[in-house]
C-alpha cells in the first residue's frame, strides 16, 4: 500500500483520473504477455509529459518506492511485472509523433507511440522505419527501445538498436538527459544512447526517441518454400546468404507451427511439410524479382518439394501476416503458451532446432519452433498448462537444457525478448561474473537507490518460471 500522502502527490501530478489503485486496476497491471509471472503493484500512474515523469520519479526516489516503466505490456520476459510492488508507470498517453523530418530522414516520437502507427505515418511520406516486431500493432516504440526489439526484417535492416540515434530520458532523481540527436555521427563521450537501448526500464525512463528513417523500398516479392526435412531448409538459408543475397525477411516454421498457423489464418500454407521457409525481398522491382527467383532456385536445388512466389504484394503480405499470427495460432492448442527466444550462429540453426525437438521429447513436453532463420533467432514455443505443476516442472527443465545448448552452440539466451525476470538466472552463462559486475556498476551509477524496475536483469535468488505474488 502507498502512504496516502504519496498517493495524493502522484495523483496531483498526473491528474486524478490518471492515477489508479482500485483492486481491479492493480490486477490489470500485475502481469504482461509473459505467462506464469504475476505480482501486484501498489498504484498505476499514466503521465502525459516528461515533466510529469520527472516529478513522479523524484517523489518515488525520495520515498524509495519501486517504479516499473510500461508501454504496451507485450514483452515476453516478465519485464513489467512489478515484482517488488510500487508504481507501474504507464507511458501510453505519451503517444505523439512530434516530427517526421524528411530532410534529415528522422522521426522524433514520444515513447507511447504504437510501432505500427509509426510505420503508417512514415510510409505515408514514402519513408521507412524497418524494425517490425511481430507484436507491432500493440507494442510501443519506448518498449521496443527498452527491449532492443527485433523483428522479421532484422536480417537485412537490423533491429531497433540500429535506428535509435537520440533519446531523452529521465533519471530516477528526476534529472532529464539528452543523448545523441539528429546526427549521423556523434562520438562525444560514452554512447549513452546505445546503453539505454535494451536497458529494460532499469536505468532511466525514456521520454522521447529520435530514430533514423530510410527511403521506402519500391516493391516487395515474397516466396514460400516447403521442405521434407529441416536440413534442406537450413542448407538453403546458408546458401542464400553465401550467394550474397540478403533477403528482407527469411522466416522459418517447423511442421507443427505451419499446421496451426494454416488452421488459424487459411493462407494456403502446407500442413505436411517438414519445414517451411518464408522469404521476402524488397527494392527496385527488377532487383526484388531477380533476387526472389535466385532464392527460389536455391531452395529447389536444396530439395524443396514446392516453391511458390506470391503473385501480388497483397498475397505476400497475407503470408507475412500469417507468420505474425504464429503465437496466437499456437496459443489455441493448450491453455498456456510459453514463447522462448534463443539465437545461435546461422550455421547452427538445424542443430538447434533438432536439439529443441530432442529435449522436448525427452521431457515429454510439446515444443514447436519458428523464428527469424536469417538471424539465427529461434522461438521454441511450449504449449502447456500452468495448472499442471508436474508438467511445468518438466517444461522448466526442458528450457534450461535449451538455453544451455544455445550457449554451447555459440549462441545467446535471448536474441530480442530481453532478460527481464525470465532470463535473469541464466545471464551469467552469457555475460560471465565480471560482465555482470560491470553491468551492476552501470546500474548503480544511473539508479543508486535501485528504484527502477527492481528484480529485472540481475539474478536474484534464482527463482525461475514461477508465479510470484507481492504483498
Ligand atoms: C505476439 C508477440 C509477438 C512478438 N514478437 C516480437 C518480435 O518479433 N521481436 C521482438 O523483439 N519482440 C517481440 N515480442 C515481444 C515484445 O512485443 C517486445 O519486447 C516489445 O518491444 C515490447 O514493447 P511494449 O511496448 O509492449 O513494452 P512493455 O512490455 O510494456 O515493456 C518492455 C520493457 O521496456 C520497459 N519500458 C517500456 N517503456 C519504457 C520507457 N518509456 N522507458 C524505459 N523503459 C521502458 C519496461 O519496463 C520493460 O522492461 C512479441 C510479443 C508478442 C506478444
The rounded Å distance from CA 144 to ligand 1 centre is 5
E strand spans, 174-236: 176-180, 205-212, 214-215, 219-227
The rounded Å distance from CA 453 to ligand 1 centre is 14
pLDDT at 314: 86
Using pLDDT thresholds of 50, 70 and 90, give the confidence band for residue 1.
low
Using pLDDT thresholds of 50, 70 and 90, give the confidence band for residue 328.
confident
**Ligand 1 atom closest to the CA of 169, numbered from 1:** 42
Task: Among 35, 47, 71, 76, name the best residue to mutate to test ligand 1's pocket (greatest count of ligand atoms within 8 A of Cβ).
Answer: 71
- Note the residue count of the chain: 471
If you compute the radius of gyration of the chain from its CA atoms, what whole number of angstroms results?
Answer: 22
Q: Report pLDDT digits (tens) over 430-450.
A: 899 999 999 999 999 999 999
Q: Flag whether pLDDT at 73 surpasses 70.
A: yes
β-pair partners for 315: none
pLDDT at 335: 93
* Ligand 1 site residues, Cβ closer than 6 angstroms: 32-33, 68-76, 79-80, 91, 111, 133-135, 139-140, 142-144, 146-147, 149-151, 200-201, 205-206, 327, 416-417, 453
Nearest to 131 by CA among 388, 331, 416, 418: 416
Q: Report pLDDT digits (tens) over 239-291.
A: 999 999 999 999 998 888 888 888 887 877 778 888 999 999 999 999 999 99
Terminal Cα-to-Cα distance of the chain (whole angstroms) = 9
Q: Report pLDDT digits (tens) over 303-322.
A: 999 898 988 888 888 888 87
Instruction: Return the residue whose CA atom lies nearest to atom 21 of ligand 1.
Output: 144
Query: Mean pLDDT throughout 21-36?
Result: 96
Q: Flag whether pLDDT at 16 surpasses 60.
A: yes
Query: Alpha-carbon distance 420 to 454, whole Å?
Result: 10
Q: Flag whether pLDDT at 471 surpasses 60.
A: no
The rounded Å distance from CA 341 to ligand 1 centre is 13
Helix (H) or strand (E) holding 382: strand 377-384
pTM for the whole thing?
A: 0.93
Instruction: Return the residue whose CA atom lies nearest to atom 48 of ligand 1.
Output: 79
Q: Report pLDDT digits (tens) over 129-164.
A: 999 999 999 999 999 999 999 998 999 999 999 999
> Among the listed ranges 23-32, 109-118, 456-465, which one has the minimum average pLDDT value?
456-465
**Ligand 1 atom closest to the CA of 415, numbered from 1:** 11
Task: Among 147, 340, 457, name the best residue to mutate to test ligand 1's pocket (greatest count of ligand atoms within 8 A of Cβ).
Answer: 147
Amino acid at each position: 500500500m502507498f502512504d496516502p500522502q504519496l498517493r495524493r502527490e502522484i495523483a496531483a501530478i498526473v491528474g486524478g483520473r490518471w492515477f489508479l489503485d482500485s483492486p481491479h486496476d492493480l490486477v490489470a497491471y500485475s502481469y504482461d504477455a509473459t505467462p506464469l509471472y504475476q505480482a501486484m503493484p501498489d498504484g498505476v500512474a499514466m503521465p502525459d509529459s516528461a515533466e510529469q515523469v520527472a516529478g513522479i520519479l523524484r517523489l518515488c526516489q525520495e520515498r524509495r518506492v519501486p517504479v516499473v516503466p510500461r508501454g504496451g505490456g507485450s514483452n515476453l520476459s516478465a519485464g513489467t511485472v512489478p515484482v517488488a510492488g510500487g508504481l507501474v508507470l504507464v507511458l501510453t498517453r505519451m503517444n505523439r509523433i512530434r516530427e517526421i523530418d524528411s530532410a534529415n530522414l528522422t522521426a522524433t516520437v514520444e515513447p507511447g507511440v504504437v510501432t505500427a502507427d509509426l510505420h503508417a505515418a512514415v510510409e505515408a511520406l514514402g519513408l521507412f522505419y524497418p524494425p517490425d516486431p511481430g507484436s507491432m500493432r500493440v507494442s510501443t516504440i519506448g518498449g521496443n527501445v527498452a527491449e532492443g526489439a527485433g523483428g522479421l526484417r532484422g536480417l537485412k535492416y537490423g533491429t531497433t538498436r540500429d535506428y535509435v540515434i537520440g533519446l531523452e530520458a529521465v533519471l530516477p532523481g528526476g534529472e532529464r538527459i539528452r543523448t545523441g540527436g539528429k546526427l549521423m555521427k556523434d562520438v562525444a563521450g560514452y554512447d549513452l544512447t546505445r546503453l539505454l537501448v535494451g536497458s529494460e526500464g532499469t536505468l532511466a525512463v525514456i521520454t522521447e526517441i529520435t530514430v533514423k528513417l530510410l527511403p521506402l523500398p519500391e516493391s516487395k516479392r515474397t516466396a514460400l518454400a516447403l521442405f521434407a526435412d529441416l536440413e534442406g531448409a537450413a542448407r538453403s538459408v546458408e546458401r542464400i546468404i553465401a550467394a550474397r543475397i540478403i533477403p528482407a525477411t527469411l522466416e522459418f516454421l517447423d511442421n507443427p507451427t505451419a499446421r496451426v498457423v494454416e488452421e488459424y489464418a487459411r493462407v494456403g500454407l502446407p500442413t505436411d511439410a517438414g519445414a517451411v521457409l518464408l522469404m521476402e525481398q524488397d527494392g527496385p522491382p527488377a532487383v526484388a524479382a531477380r533476387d526472389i527467383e535466385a532464392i527460389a532456385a536455391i531452395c529447389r536445388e536444396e530439395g524443396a518439394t514446392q516453391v511458390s512466389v506470391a503473385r501480388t504484394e497483397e498475397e505476400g503480405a497475407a503470408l507475412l501476416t500469417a507468420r505474425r499470427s504464429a503465437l496466437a495460432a499456437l496459443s489455441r492448442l493448450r491453455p498456456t503458451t510459453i514463447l522462448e527466444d534463443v539465437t545461435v550462429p546461422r550455421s547452427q540453426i538445424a542443430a538447434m532446432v533438432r536439439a529443441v525437438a530432442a529435449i522436448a521429447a525427452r521431457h515429454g513436453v510439446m515444443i514447436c519452433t519458428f523464428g527469424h532463420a536469417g538471424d539465427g533467432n529461434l522461438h521454441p514455443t511450449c504449449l502447456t498448462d500452468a495448472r499442471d505443476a508436474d508438467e511445468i516442472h518438466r517444461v522448466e527443465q526442458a528450457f534450461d537444457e535449451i538455453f544451455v545448448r544455445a550457449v554451447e552452440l555459440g549462441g545467446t539466451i535471448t536474441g530480442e525478448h530481453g532478460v527481464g525476470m525470465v532470463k535473469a538466472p541464466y545471464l551469467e552463462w552469457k555475460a560471465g561474473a565480471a560482465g555482470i559486475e560491470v553491468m551492476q556498476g552501470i546500474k548503480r551509477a544511473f539508479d543508486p537507490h535501485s528504484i527502477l524496475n527492481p528484480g529485472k536483469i540481475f539474478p536474484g535468488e534464482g527463482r525461475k518460471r514461477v508465479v510470484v505474488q507481492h504483498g
